[in-house]
């Protein structure tokens, strides 16, 4: 999944949806493509990575979903989706993350970076919240993707050979079939002895378990 060297003749472009603490597969794309187009004019759909992530709880995979304000129309653009304060979700998400990763090698190291997103900062729009977390994760991993938000929606991408993973990276799709080029590289997980290796969890699973070596795992 290595990134192309600068100066390559052909710029490799990938289209992705926005995602909440996206899975490792998503960050492998961020690390390996020259340019990223972040789709913001797609219609919002529930039960996708747009508003959910999956972490490793002590009893197995645990999904965390960000509640959203019900849009006025079923065909609401992703860029217009607002975050709801329903159910004290920020407190619940942080407690779940802390419970899952408190004993990992690097949780204390990164804790203060993520904590403000759940206790201090407030974002009105889901895409802005997701992007702020994505920028943080990229900086901690030390990858610097060139990300631009789309200016219009194209069901069929322009004929420039861009890769389209807007719907391929999906919690209800088997990544082995939807993205056969992505082969998860096993890494240490705090519950690995009990649960075995759980592939393609949220990027925080990789960060909290592997720290600075996260980049090496992605490049595998």
Provide the residue-wise pLDDT of the chain in tens; the chain has 220 residues: 444 344 445 789 999 999 999 999 999 999 999 999 999 999 998 899 999 999 999 999 999 999 999 888 878 999 999 999 988 999 999 999 999 999 999 999 999 999 999 999 999 999 999 999 999 999 999 999 999 999 999 988 876 689 999 999 999 999 999 999 999 999 999 999 999 999 999 999 999 999 999 999 999 8
- The radius of gyration computed from the CA coordinates of the chain, to the nearest angstrom, equals 17
- CA distances (Å), origin 46, targets 51, 52, 69, 118, 151: 7, 9, 12, 21, 22
Asked if 176 and 27 touch (Cβ cutoff 8 Å), the reply is no
Asked if 147 and 117 touch (Cβ cutoff 8 Å), the reply is no
Which pLDDT score is estimated for 9? 55
Which pLDDT score is estimated for 72? 82
- Which single residue is written with the structure tokens 């699973």? 205
List residues bridging with 147 in a β-sheet: 36
């Amino acid at each position: 999944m290595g990134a192309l060297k600068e100066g390559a003749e052909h710029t490799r472009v990938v289209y992705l949806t926005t995602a909440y603490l996206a899975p490792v597969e998503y960050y492998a794309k961020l690390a390996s493509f020259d340019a990223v187009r972040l789709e913001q004019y797609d219609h919002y759909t529930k039960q996708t990575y747009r508003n959910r992530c999956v972490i490793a709880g002590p009893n197995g995979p645990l999904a965390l979903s960000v509640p959203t304000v019900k849009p006025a129309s079923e065909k609401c653009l992703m860029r217009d989706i607002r975050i709801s304060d329903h159910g004290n979700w920020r407190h619940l998400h942080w407690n779940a993350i802390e419970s899952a990763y408190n004993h990992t090698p690097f949780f204390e190291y990164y804790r203060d970076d993520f904590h403000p997103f759940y206790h201090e900062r407030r974002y009105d729009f889901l895409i802005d919240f997701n992007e702020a977390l994505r920028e943080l994760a990229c900086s901690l991993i030390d990858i610097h993707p060139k990300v631009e938000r789309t200016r219009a929606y194209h069901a069929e991408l322009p004929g420039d050979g861009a890769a389209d993973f807007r719907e391929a990276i999906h919690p209800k799709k088997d990544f082995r079939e939807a993205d056969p080029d992505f082969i998860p590289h096993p890494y240490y997980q705090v519950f690995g002895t009990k649960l075995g290796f759980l592939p393609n969890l949220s990027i925080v699973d990789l960060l909290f378990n592997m720290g600075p070596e996260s980049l090496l795992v992605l490049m595998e």
